[in-house]
Amino acid sequence: TEVQDDDGLDFTIAADQVNAIRWMSPGRQLILGTSGGEWSVTSDGPVLTPLDLAVRRESTNGSANILPVRISSIVLFVQRAKRKLREFVFSFETDGFRTPDLTILADHISESGIHEVIYQQEPDSQVHCLREDGVLATLTYRREQDVVGWSRHILGGGYQGGRTVIESIAAIPGSAAAASENLDEAWVVVKRTVGGATRRYIEVFEPVFNAPNREEFDMEVEFDAAVLTAQQDAFYVDSGLVLDTPISINNVELIAAVDSFESWPDGTSNPPEGWIKTGGAGGLGQAPGIADGLYAISLGGSSNTIEKDFDFTEIHSLVFDVAAAGKTLEIRIDGVVEYSESEPNGRFSINVNAYSGVLTVEVVQGSLSSGSLVLDNLRFLGTSASGSTVVITAPAHGFADGNTVDIADVVGMEGLNGRRFTISSVTSDAFEILDIDTSGLAPYSGGGEVRKVVSSISGLEHLEGETVKVLGDGAIMPDRIVSGGQISLDTPVSRAVVGLGYRHIFKSLKLASGAAAGTAVAKVKRVHGIALVLLHSLGIRIGPSIDRLEDVPLREVKDAMDKAVPLFTGERYVSFDGDYERDARIVIAGDAPLPFTLLAAAPELKTNEQI
C-alpha cells in the first residue's frame, strides 16, 4: 500500500540507548523527553509526514515521568532525578537547543524531589512545583526580563505534628462567577490534621491584592476610603472564609421631629384620644387633634400609651417605648409633686421633687430590654427638643431592634458613610437610626449598603480546634481558637476574613557593600538602621535573625485612631538592633493577615575595615 501523508507514524529513534518516552510537547517543533535525553522532531515541509521527518538528540539530561510546561517557545521539564527544573530553549549562539538548570542558584528548593509541575500565567508568570514532601516551591519566571526567582509556600495548619501537606496541584482559567476571568487559578488538594483527624480540602489561591491607584481620585480622602475598602477585602489566610453580607439601600429619608405639645386639663379622668410619636425620641405626648402626617395610636394600658388616670387630680403618666434605647427626650414640665420609682431589676431609677423646668430623660443604649418607663405627675406646657429621625429603606434586611449596623457607599447623604449606628423601629424593609446629628446631612441621591455588626462568626467547623487569624473591618485582630464551629470577637465587626495564618520570611544575602575599600564580606560589621521601600504593606517585623524580630510601626500621625491602620506605601527608616559580626544579615518577616510587598531594603551599617 502506498504511504500517504496523513498516515500514522510508527518509527524507532536511532540512538545508542533504548529509553522510554516520558512526555511530548508540541510547538513549532515536537519536543520529546525520554529517560535518557531530549529530542526534537522536525520536517522540511509544513507538517510531519511518514516520509518527511527528522529526529535529533538535543540534550542528554534525561526526563522524569512528569508532564512539562510550555511557556511560549520554551519548555520547562523536570530532570530524571527530580531535583532539577531545566529550560529547553533555542540558542542562536549555538544554533541549537540548550537546557540550563533553573535551580542552580537555589538547589535546596527541590531537596525532596519534584512531584508535579503547573504553570500559572496570570496575574504573574509563575511555575508551581509540588515537591515529594508536599511543600509547594514556586518559580517566578520571565525569561525576556531574565527573571528567575524561587520561593516556598508553607501553608497554615499542620499534618501529624509537621507541615501541612499538599497532595496535588492544578491551574485552570478563571471564571466570571469567581471574579477571576482575567486570571489563572491555582488549585491544591491539602491534607491537614484538624481536631485530631485527617482532613482533606480543595483550596484555591486568591488573586493578589488589588489596590486602587492614587491617580484615579481627585481628593486624598476619597483615595484613603478606597484603600480601606480594598484592605477590608484582603485575603491573606489559608483555608479561610469571608464574612461580608451587604444589604442594598433603596432610600434614606430624613423625618423632622414633632416640636409642640399641649397639656391636658387638671383632674381629667379620661384624656382625649389622639397621640403622636415624637420623631427620634420614642416617647409619646398628648395632642389636641390628629394633624396631617402625625402617627396616631389609641389609648390603652400597654407601652406607647398614656396610662389610665384613675380619677386622681393631676396624676398622669407618660410612657416611653424602651425599644428606642439610646435616644434622649427633653420635656418642659410644670407642677411636679414629689415622686420616685425604681424598676425591680435595677434597669432604671427616677427621683423628682417639686420640679419645674426642662427634664431630660435618657434611655441608655442596651440597658432596657422590655416593659415601659413610666413618669408620673407630668404635664406638658410647651415644646420637645427631640432630634429628627433618619429612616433607611433596605428591603428584606433581616435586622432587629437594637442591632448595630455599618453604612457605606451612600451617595448624597455621605455623612452616613463609614459610621456605625444602633437601629430601632424596625420593619421588614426599613429601620430608624438612633443617636445621629442630622444637621448638615445633604439629600439622599442613591446607592449605599448596610451591614450588620456581629461579635461572633460561625461556619468554621472545618477548622475546629485550630488557632485562626482574623482581619476585622480591615484591622488585625487577636488570634482566636475555633470552638463549636465559631469564634467570639472582642471588637464587633461587619466584615471579616478568618482562616489559618502563615508566615512570610525574607533573609538577605551576605552584605557585600559598606566597606571603604573592597568588599564587606568577612569583615566585622553592624547594621544599625535600614530604609525600607514598601508597597501596600502592614504587620511586618524586622531583625538580625528570625528569633530577634521587632515590630515596624507604620501608623502615621494623620491616621484616625479609631479606624484600622491603613496599608502603608512609601519609604520608612527603621532602627536595627544588630550585633557586630562577620555574617550580618537582615530578616524581615510577618504573619499578619494583610499584604506585604518589599520593593527595596537599603541597610545602614558600620564596617570594621580590618579583617
C-alpha cell at 544: 538580625
Per-residue confidence at 128, pLDDT binned at 50, 70, 90? very high
Nearest by Cα to 364 from 415, 428, 320? 320
Nearest by Cα to 471 from 494, 450, 448, 452? 494
Amino acid at 505: I
Per-residue confidence at 387, pLDDT binned at 50, 70, 90? low
* Distant-in-sequence, close-in-space partners of 602: CB < 8 Å, separation ≥ 6: 530, 531, 533
- pLDDT value of residue 37: 92
Residue matched to cell numbers 485530631? 196
Q: Give the Cα separation of 133 and 112 in Å (integer).
A: 6
Q: Give the Cα separation of 498 and 593 in Å (integer).
A: 9
- pLDDT value of residue 256: 58
Q: Give the Cα separation of 467 and 175 in Å (integer).
A: 32
C-alpha cell at 394: 433596605
- pLDDT value of residue 541: 94
Per-residue pLDDT at 43 exceeds 90: no
Per-residue pLDDT at 266 exceeds 70: no
**DSSP codes joined into one string, 93-135:** TTTEEE--BTTTT-GGGGTT-EEEEEEE-SSS-EEEEEETTS-
Amino acid at 62: G
In a 13 Å sphere around the CA of 439, the CA atoms on its Cβ side amount to 1
Q: What is the mean pLDDT of residues 396-401?
A: 93
Q: Helix (H, G, I), strand (E, B), or coil: what is residue 470?
A: strand
Mean pLDDT of the chain: 78
- pLDDT value of residue 587: 94
279-296 pLDDT, tens digit per residue, is: 333 333 333 332 322 222
**DSSP helix, strand, coil percent of the chain (3-state; round to 5):** 5, 45, 50
Of 462 and 209, the one with more pLDDT: 462
- pLDDT value of residue 31: 92
Per-residue pLDDT at 105 exceeds 80: yes
Q: Give the Cα separation of 471 and 244 in Å (integer).
A: 12
Instruction: Sheet with 165-173: list strands edge to edge.
Output: 165-173, 184-194, 197-204
- pLDDT value of residue 285: 38
330-373 pLDDT, tens digit per residue, is: 333 333 333 344 444 444 444 433 333 434 444 343 333 333 33
418-429 pLDDT, tens digit per residue, is: 889 999 889 999
Q: Give the Cα separation of 606 and 458 in Å (integer).
A: 53
**520 phi-psi bin (left φ>0, alpha ψ -120 to 50, beta other):** alpha
Of 102 and 222, the one with more pLDDT: 102
Q: What is the mean pLDDT of residues 492-504?
A: 95
- pLDDT value of residue 512: 82
Cβ neighbours, 10 Å, residue 278 = 24
Per-residue pLDDT at 317 exceeds 50: no
Of 104 and 14, the one with more pLDDT: 104
Q: Give the Cα separation of 423 and 463 in Å (integer).
A: 33
C-alpha cell at 204: 484555591
Of 444 and 519, the one with more pLDDT: 444
- pLDDT value of residue 185: 92
Label residues 221-236 b or e (16+ Cβ within 10 Å = b): eebbbbbbebbbebbb
What's the Rg (C-alpha) of the chain?
A: 36
State pTM to two decimals: 0.72
Nearest by Cα to 422 from 459, 488, 368? 368
Per-residue pLDDT at 309 exceeds 90: no
C-alpha cell at 288: 389636641
- pLDDT value of residue 151: 93
Per-residue pLDDT at 497 exceeds 80: yes
- pLDDT value of residue 611: 60
Of 317 and 124, the one with more pLDDT: 124
